[in-house]
Amino acid sequence: MLALEGIKILDLTHLAPGALCTMIFGDLGADVIKIEAPPGVGGRGAGIGLSPMGEEGRRQAAFDALNRNKRSIGLNLRSDKGREIFYQLAQTADVIVEGFRPGVVKRLGVDCETIRAINLRLIYCSLSGYGQDGPYSNRSGHDVNYISIAGALNLIGTPDCPPVIPLNLLADFAGASLHGVIGILAALVARSKTGTGQYVDISYTDGAMSVLTWFISNYFSSGILLKRGETWLHGAYPYYGVYEAKDGKYVSIGCVEPWFWENLCRALGKEEYISYCISPEHFLHKPEGEKWEEIFSYLKQVFLTRTRDEWFDFFADKDVPVGKVYTFDEVFNDPQVLHRQMVLEIDHPTLGKVKHPGIAIKLSETPGKVRSLAPIFGEHTEEILRELSYNKSQIEELRQSNIIG
């Protein structure tokens, strides 16, 4: 048994944050149906995020972890018959997830109000940049814009340099994908008590601000503005940072607690540095005084005397928080990563073993599972329509009319 077995999700998203959100549900057992517009159907974004096609598409799909455990139906929602099929699917669905700009689903006739008139138990989740209301709701944007508004981008990087863009991790994946999962799961729990679904409005920007809660709380408390690169979490203090090793690779040190810093100092034979540990002002201000410069200089020099892996082994029995700064080709050979099954090898009929990132949520009784690789476009169209009692001639007629793909 899988935790979310029996939950049906209609996936109208077409970008990676939405795909990650629904991937998590698929990994945990939900039946996720990707609703994809046939080629040539749709507006400016038509084709973006579309499942691949043909034999080469199958190879691409084999490695597409974001769309594993999903089925694909090609469906033209701009047609009356296409919407009719969608409404039939919605009658027995538990969740719809969409990632369009506000107003698009209304124009397509598949908005929350319309769908919940068909199925009051349905949970409808929208992922959008700024949310469904407010002065920015219809503005375009991407992760870099959302984390700018949320206040995160200005805090990332070093002093006297422009902000550093942290991939699209904060707003896209933490802000939208993970908050979307949490919101939908909360709505499913609520439905078990009330018997009805609800609307889940997830904003990428709101989610990025939620991730910043600890920092925002400190600002409200002190009134002091954090400055880029000038606090302990920015690497401004020697006990929390990254150091180059003898082999040109890097070691991360996270000795925030005084006892960890003491362990590091003792391991290096520098007991005189023990008293220079974290203190409250480090949360807000950069280090002042020559001693901090001395400690930094010493650590930079000493870490150059061994390789990255030698340092990792050296600190293994000394209770010092240390990490090897990996490239991707190293991550997937790490013994801890492998032990935690964060690299999966899945059988493919023609490619042999294909690798996927593992399932992060570990459930003891109902663990997640990769049951199927990502589909090619429309791979399950006929199968899904047959579940809705369409016969072969009806399906062929729909295909010829470009209603399905």
Domain containing 77 — which CATH number?
A: 3.40.50.10540
Cβ neighbours for 266, distance < 8 A, ≥ 6 positions apart: 274, 318
Element at 372 (helix H, strand E): none
Average pLDDT over the chain, rounded to an integer: 96
pTM, 2 dp: 0.95
Of 324, 354, 377, the residue that ends a domain is 324
Averaged pLDDT, 293-305: 98
Helix (H, G, I), strand (E, B) or coil at 342: coil
Q: Assess if residue 1 is contained within a domain.
A: no
Q: Tens of pLDDT along 275-288? A: 999 999 998 889 99
Same structural domain, 313 and 360: no
Give me the percent of the chain exceeding a pLDDT of 90.
93
Q: In which residue are the tokens 């814009």 written?
A: 145
Averaged pLDDT, 351-375: 97
Helix (H, G, I), strand (E, B) or coil at 310: helix
CA separation, residue 49 to residues 66, 165, 171, 260, 355 (Å): 11, 23, 18, 46, 21
Spatial separation of the C-alpha atoms in residues 231 and 304, rounded to whole Å: 25
Q: Which domain holds residue 378?
A: 8-211+345-400
206 is annotated as an active-site residue: no
* Confidence band of 45 (pLDDT split at 50, 70, 90): low
- Go through the chain and tell me how many residues it has: 405
172 is annotated as an active-site residue: yes
**In this structure, which amino acid lies at residue 35?**
I
Q: In which residue are the tokens 């003891």 written?
A: 364
Strands (E), 51-94: 70-74
Q: Assess if residue 144 is contained within a domain.
A: yes
Q: Assess if residue 339 is contained within a domain.
A: no
Give me the percent of the chain exceeding a pLDDT of 70.
98
Structural domains of the chain, count: 2
Spatial separation of the C-alpha atoms in residues 379 and 311, rounded to whole Å: 50
Spatial separation of the C-alpha atoms in residues 387 and 367, rounded to whole Å: 27
Q: Tens of pLDDT along 102-138? A: 999 999 999 999 999 999 999 999 999 999 999 999 9
Same structural domain, 298 and 369: no
Averaged pLDDT, 35-63: 80
Cβ neighbours for 261, distance < 8 A, ≥ 6 positions apart: 239, 255, 274, 276, 277, 278
Element at 35 (helix H, strand E): strand 31-36
Same structural domain, 193 and 296: no
Cα dihedral across residues 369, 91, 123, 175: positive or negative: positive
Same structural domain, 17 and 157: yes
Same structural domain, 23 and 163: yes
Whichever domain contains 262, its CATH number is: 3.30.1540.10
Residue 236 reports pLDDT greater than 80: yes
Q: Tens of pLDDT along 52-63? A: 887 788 899 999
Strands (E), 321-379: 322-324, 343-348, 352-357
Same structural domain, 305 and 391: no
Spatial separation of the C-alpha atoms in residues 39 and 170, rounded to whole Å: 32
Averaged pLDDT, 219-232: 93
DSSP code, position 164? P
Averaged pLDDT, 136-145: 97
First to last CA, the chain: 32
pLDDT score of 118: 97
Indicate which residue of 27, 94, 172, 206 is catalytic: 172
